[in-house]
Amino acid sequence: MWTEIAEKIAAKTLAAIRRNGDAIPYIADDAGRFDDMTDKNISWWTNGFWAGELMQAYTVSGAEELKNAARSIEAKLDRALMDAMGMDHDSGFKWLPTAGADYALTGDPASLNRLLLAASNLAGRFNPRGNFIRAWNDRDGEKAGLAIIDCLMNLPLLYKASEITCDPRFSQIAALHARTAAEHFQRPDGSAEHIVLFDPETGERTGALGGQGMAQGSSWTRGQAWALYGFTLSHRHTGDPLFLDRAEKSAAYFTAHIPASGLVPADFRQDPDCGFEDDSAAAIAACGLLELAERTGKSAYADTARRLLTALLENRCDLTPDTDSMISHCTVAFHDSRHNHPLVYADYFFTEAVTRLAGKGVFIW
């Protein structure tokens, strides 16, 4: 089953690049046609995911066109590496699916160079007073104490830099940030904050914000998925039992709140009649659960991942080659004006999970 789906994804992505060339998509319109972030914002946080999807598809079909388009996008992102204000906590999202996948598959030294430049920049965002990696940029210090749950998923860039260079400083920074997330982001019930505020001078936690969720104290589902997968990845790279414990707590919380339909809402604490979904949260959680099953040997995690993926496949997935986008019902932020629409990272994580189940793919984290 999963091999057949992976082959359909590969055929769909090949058709999309033949229509769109090396465009860098973020969102699709109602007809399923992608936009292009190349000239809109080359530093946008999602700009690595389409290339990552192309590389995953390449491992399935072997079509050189897929790899070549991915490598063209990777080269485009060199402009982002030279944009100081555009380099933020999401460097892992931009360069692991691009340079990281390329280096893993081809050993290209130019890809390694990009990977290490991005890792050095991410390490430079570390605040040693609070042991956290700063999130967004500004020039007036207003955001100097902001850290977000998403950053857990960017830490593998630092772990990989240590593995490649035999320099432990990168992985030490990553593990310190992950420990801060364990202490200050995960709540007692296993749910996670989106944004935590620190005093950048003292490192003291001063508060939290609801961010892209419904409200402060609510449960933004993509944030829960970042926590689940992110803590699991920190355990993969460090072996620290604290991270495995936090990953399993995140998984228990997420699993307990999946609706009977298997379709994940935008916020677990929204009104049941709200209707906002976030398929990206389901796809990310599925990837995390597959990794957690491997970490623990517990098949129930993989069973839940397949349940989430099957719900997407049967209800929210377009595998036909005449549209660009695949996964249909996503929400960027609860209070946005648009909901239940395609997003490129939902397609990426769905593809990652499917290719993994099919015994294909390249592990980028």
Whether 48 is covered by a domain: the verdict is: yes
Can you name the residues that pair with 343 across neighbouring β-strands?
27
Q: Which amino acid is at 269?
A: R
Task: Count CB neighbours of 241 within 10 A.
Answer: 9
Looking at residue 321, its amino acid is P
Instruction: With CA atoms as reference, report the closest residue to 125 among 184, 75, 97, 85.
Output: 85
Query: Is residue 255 situated within a structural domain?
Result: yes
What is the pLDDT, as a whole number, of residue 30? 86
Q: Hey, which bits of the chain come out as E strands?
A: 126-127, 132-133, 146-148, 195-198, 205-209
Say if 276 falls within a structural domain: yes
Cβ partners under 8 Å of residue 182, min gap 6 = 231, 242, 243, 246
Q: Is the pTM value of this prediction over 0.85?
A: yes
What's the domain range around 186? 2-357
The reply to whether 58 falls in a domain is yes
Angle at 113 between CA 21 and CA 66, to 5 degrees: 25
The number of folded domains in the chain is 1
Separation between Cα atoms, residue 152 and residue 181, nearest integer Å: 8
- Is there a domain that residue 364 lies in? no
The enclosing domain of 28 has a CATH number of: 1.50.10.10
Q: Kindly state whether residue 365 falls inside one of the protein's structural domains.
A: no
CB 326 within 8 A of CB 318: yes
In a domain, 362, yes or no: no
pLDDT of residue 313: 98
Dist CA 123 CA 45 (whole Å): 17
C-beta pairs of 332-337 under 8 Å, 24+ apart in sequence: 332/212, 333/211, 333/212, 334/212, 334/213, 334/214, 334/218, 334/220, 334/266, 334/267, 334/270, 334/276, 335/214
Q: What is the residue type of 59?
A: T
43 part of a folded domain = yes
pLDDT at 327: 98
- What is the 3-class SS of 165-176, one letter each residue? HCCCHHHHHHHH
pLDDT tens for the chain, 365 residues long, are 999 999 999 999 999 999 999 999 999 998 889 999 999 999 999 999 999 999 999 999 999 999 999 999 999 999 999 999 999 999 999 999 999 999 999 999 999 999 999 999 999 999 999 999 999 999 999 999 999 999 999 999 999 999 999 999 999 999 999 999 999 999 999 999 999 999 999 999 999 999 999 999 999 999 999 999 999 999 999 999 999 999 999 999 999 999 999 999 999 999 999 999 999 999 999 999 999 999 999 999 999 999 999 999 999 999 999 999 999 999 999 999 999 999 999 999 999 999 999 999 999 99
